[in-house]
Structure 1
């Protein structure tokens, strides 16, 4: 049995279990859940969902890292992408100005918090321009051919 069949079987089993839990929650009804009569059941299902989510995230990260480290071309491509992202993040951070800013609720946003917010906005703008530029470039390149 290859790994693809095993993963398909595991996904099917998780899907059947999820359908069972969904039917149990729907069977209880909205009113009982709102009234708190079955909050124990819902909380239990939430913890199960969190555990399944954590398991899936761990498996995704492990298999992704395994794939990246077993293929040299993939590793090089991944490191170039991560490096480019870090360069954009550093440029965005150093372009941002950090000034204390009063907020609507009377609190004051610290200079470092303001700098991080500005860096996030700058990074969004830079990445948006890069994405739009690459779409335009590929579209124009296809039109020329």
Structure 2
């Protein structure tokens, strides 16, 4: 049997089980869940964890198989991962970590340090850079189509 067929069967089974569990959760209602009836929700959480792990494993497996079969795709993927790493490093360098008063967080018992603040700033700056790149790419594509027609 082909691996794609096996994965389709697994996806179908997980989808049917998810639908059954969704109907069960909706049938129980919020009031009963809030009242402490974890026996309905907890197995569903484990099912979600298993589904997530299986999905990640399938994505990684098919990605590796595809990259091994097509070396040109592997080269382009490594270039893209490298460019993404450069953007993350730029975000890390640009983030100071000292632009936030940490006293309110510490007084509430939250474990927020300058390094935590720096990582959050890095994530935000990386997001801003990637958003700007995406917007510029859309504008470039639109302008290119205007002049090619």
2:128 to 125, 138, 141: 125
Deviates more, 1:72-81 or 1:25-34: 25-34
SS at match of 1:99: coil
Matched, 1:136 2:139: yes
Instruction: Give 5+ residue unaligned stretches, structure 2.
Output: none
Deviant stretches of 4+, over 4 Å: none
1:97 CA displacement:
2.6
Is contact 2:102–2:113 with CA below 8 Å preserved after alignment?
Answer: no
1:66 CA displacement:
2.2
Q: What is the RMSD of the two structures over their aligned residues, measured on CA atoms?
A: 2.5
* TM-score (norm. length: structure 1): 0.80
The size of the alignment, in residue pairs, is 144
* TM-score (norm. length: structure 2): 0.79
Q: Deviations over 1:1-60 (max 9, x none)?
A: 433333322222222222222233333343332322x32232122212222222222222
Counterparts of 1:1-145 in structure 2, within 5 Å, are: 1-36=1-36, 38-99=37-98, 101-103=100-102, 105=104, 107=106, 110-145=113-148
